[in-house]
Chains A and B, each alone.
Chain A
Amino acid sequence: MNLSEALEIAAATDPGMVRSHNEDSIAADPSKGLVVLADGMGGYNAGEVASGMATTVITTELQHVLEEHAPYDIDEQSGQRLAQKLIAAQIAKANTSIYQASQSQPQYAGMGTTLVVALFYDNRVTIAHIGDSRLYLLRDGEFKQVTKDHSLLQEQIDSGMLTREQARHSANKNLVTRALGIDATVEPEIHDYDTRPGDIYLLCSDGLCDMVSDEDIEMVLQTLGANLKLCVQQLIQMANDNGGRDNVSVMLVRVRREYPAPRGLAKLFGWLK
């Protein structure tokens, strides 16, 4: 089933004001309801290589398996929908590719990437993330962060050592506790959520949320939500106006209408087509 009518997607990535390389990488397939964002790390161009591999492998592999399986089909072993399993499998593949490249080529040694993936299907979304790239949701005027960073700072906040306000001034912003491609295996955090028409999902690299406060991000979505492309431009511009010290990537997905999975007869017609 093609979701490009039900979902509106706008995205852009920008090197920022300081860096010459863009180590972020983004990919989207509106028809499959898939958006992927990765923020790479590593010397020379290894960061770009890692994030590029992550988005490419996950997008193409998922496109491939989604031809065979629908994400809303029930997995016979677990009784769960397939989406999480499919995404986890592709993330594992991407992890292996990056890890092997970094092991076999000295210039890529130690490269890795953060990741956030969202797959929309059947009025739902499955979100997987690793590291400090984030997903936010604006629903009914309420803006909230959906993913929780895998970072030292987040652990310090969780343990009560730092308040959110103090965390803004911490010097340890750049330390992630999980990344794709660093080890032979990786454990992504994956959750399912229901979606509603009117929802706006924001995926971003830390280049946005480190430079622009959550309140300002919310204001942009609230005021310019009618025009997603403009929202994306505005957010990147604000990050750059505030110094743009890191690469900035922004992906926005608006749920235009409901998109239930074809069931019963409709499914049959789908087969016959």
Chain B
Amino acid sequence: MAKLILSMDGLVLKEYTLGKERTTIGRKPHNDIQIDNLAVSGEHAVIVTILNDSFLEDLGSTNGTLVNGQPVKKHFLQNNDVVELGKYKLKYLAEATGPAKAADFEKTMVLRPGAMKAFAPAAAPAHAAPGAPAAAAKPAAAGAVAAGVAAGALAAGAAAGTPAAKPTGEAPSAPAPAAAPAPRIGVLQVLTGGNAGKELELVKPLTRLGKPGVQVAVITRRPQGYFITHVEGANFPVLNGKTVDAQAHPLNDHDIIELAGVKMEFFFKT
């Protein structure tokens, strides 16, 4: 479960777990997180937690709420966000998910209408959940979601041979095309024809070469490097004097490509 660390002037005061659907913050004693300071409004802000996502909302406080130095009305909390109310700071720590857990958790699960309420009050009803009609499809999965971890429910899946995530080392939900360490940028220089001398940096994941309908090839940029593949046309591209087949071919520094009557050189930018 996600946590909030309350601190002032760099001094940690208290730690809170976001176990409830609504966690209120304010000066008055009925708040879940009470901060007894006049700069904090009676009902200052609320954090709404839905499964693993938490949303911070300012409740029209007098002095406002900052997240990472920016005033916010409503904010989708991300790991390590710092919420400021007056001189007080609340650091938001999302639940640490190891690679194995992450892989398990990504398993798709069904959420039934009406099941949300069952999830909200922390892990308490989790044990009562199996078989309960309001819970998600897999009896065990309901407990898992309520508890905020999928490990238990999907242990079966893991035992069945789901490998504990190969070391891809990727941050979750980072669809950036190039994940390789410091990828080198390839460049294509036209050697013959009307565009001779022109250079093209291959920064996109895909670069199309040739004339549509006549002969087209594509250079793909991957973490492993650059590859050339034939796309359409009766003639296949020629790489260093050899005609390539339908497969993708890796490009090396100073390879010569011939396509639709034009010669080009591929090299890595230094």
Binding site for B on A (CB under 8 A): 17-21, 39, 41-45, 109-110, 112, 114, 131-132, 152, 156, 161-162, 166, 168-179, 182, 206, 210-213, 216, 219-220, 223-224, 226-227, 230, 234, 237-238, 241-246
Interface pair A110/B141, CB less than 8 Å apart? yes
Q: How far is the CA of A244 from the CA of B107 in the complex (A)?
A: 13
Q: Which one of A43, A114, A174 contacts B160 once the chains associate, using CB atoms below 8 Å?
A: A43
Interface pair B206/A174, CB less than 8 Å apart? no
Residues of A within 8 A of B174 (CB): 242-243
Does B139 interact with chain A (Cβ within 8 Å)? Answer: yes
Interface pair A182/B223, CB less than 8 Å apart? no
B157 to chain A, nearest CB (A): 5
Interface pair A21/B106, CB less than 8 Å apart? no
With A152-B111, A213-B175, A220-B206 as contacts: A17 and B76 at CB distance below 8 Å: no
Residues of B within 8 A of A17 (CB): 166, 168
Interface pair A43/B156, CB less than 8 Å apart? yes
Residues of A within 8 A of B231 (CB): 224, 226-227, 230
- 12 A-B interface contacts by CB (under 8 A): A19-B103, A21-B160, A21-B162, A44-B157, A109-B138, A110-B141, A172-B50, A175-B109, A177-B110, A219-B206, A230-B229, A243-B170
Interface pair B139/A114, CB less than 8 Å apart? no
Interface pair A132/B108, CB less than 8 Å apart? yes
Does B154 interact with chain A (Cβ within 8 Å)? Answer: yes
Interface pair B204/A219, CB less than 8 Å apart? yes
Interface pair A39/B179, CB less than 8 Å apart? no
Residues of A within 8 A of B156 (CB): 43-44
Q: How far is the CA of A211 from the CA of B160 in the complex (A)?
A: 24
Q: How far is the CA of A110 from the CA of B207 in the complex (A)?
A: 45
Q: How far is the CA of A243 from the CA of B179 in the complex (A)?
A: 9
B66 to chain A, nearest CB (A): 19
One digit per residue, 1 when the CB lies within 8 angstroms of any chain A CB and 0 when it does not, for chain B 176-218 equals: 1101000000000000000000000000111110001000101
A48 to chain B, nearest CB (A): 11
Residues of A within 8 A of B260 (CB): none
Q: Which one of B137, B172, B205 contacts A112 once the chains associate, using CB atoms below 8 Å?
A: B137
Interface pair A171/B157, CB less than 8 Å apart? no
Q: How far is the CA of A17 from the CA of B216 in the complex (A)?
A: 30
With A39-B108, A161-B55 as contacts: A211 and B137 at CB distance below 8 Å: no
Q: How far is the CA of A114 from the CA of B53 in the complex (A)?
A: 23
Q: How far is the CA of A88 from the CA of B248 in the complex (A)?
A: 42
Residues of A within 8 A of B170 (CB): 242-243
Residues of B within 8 A of A246 (CB): 106
Q: How far is the CA of A116 from the CA of B30 in the complex (A)?
A: 49
Interface pair B110/A19, CB less than 8 Å apart? no
Interface pair A242/B110, CB less than 8 Å apart? no
Does B68 interact with chain A (Cβ within 8 Å)? Answer: no
Interface pair B53/A179, CB less than 8 Å apart? no
One digit per residue, 1 when the CB lies within 8 angstroms of any chain A CB and 0 when it does not, for chain B 255-266 equals: 000000000000
Residues of B within 8 A of A182 (CB): 110, 112, 137
Q: Which one of A43, A212, A216, A227 contacts B154 once the chains associate, using CB atoms below 8 Å?
A: A43
Q: How far is the CA of A22 from the CA of B206 in the complex (A)?
A: 27
Does B220 interact with chain A (Cβ within 8 Å)? Answer: yes
B109, B162, B163, B170, most chain A CB atoms within 10 A: B109
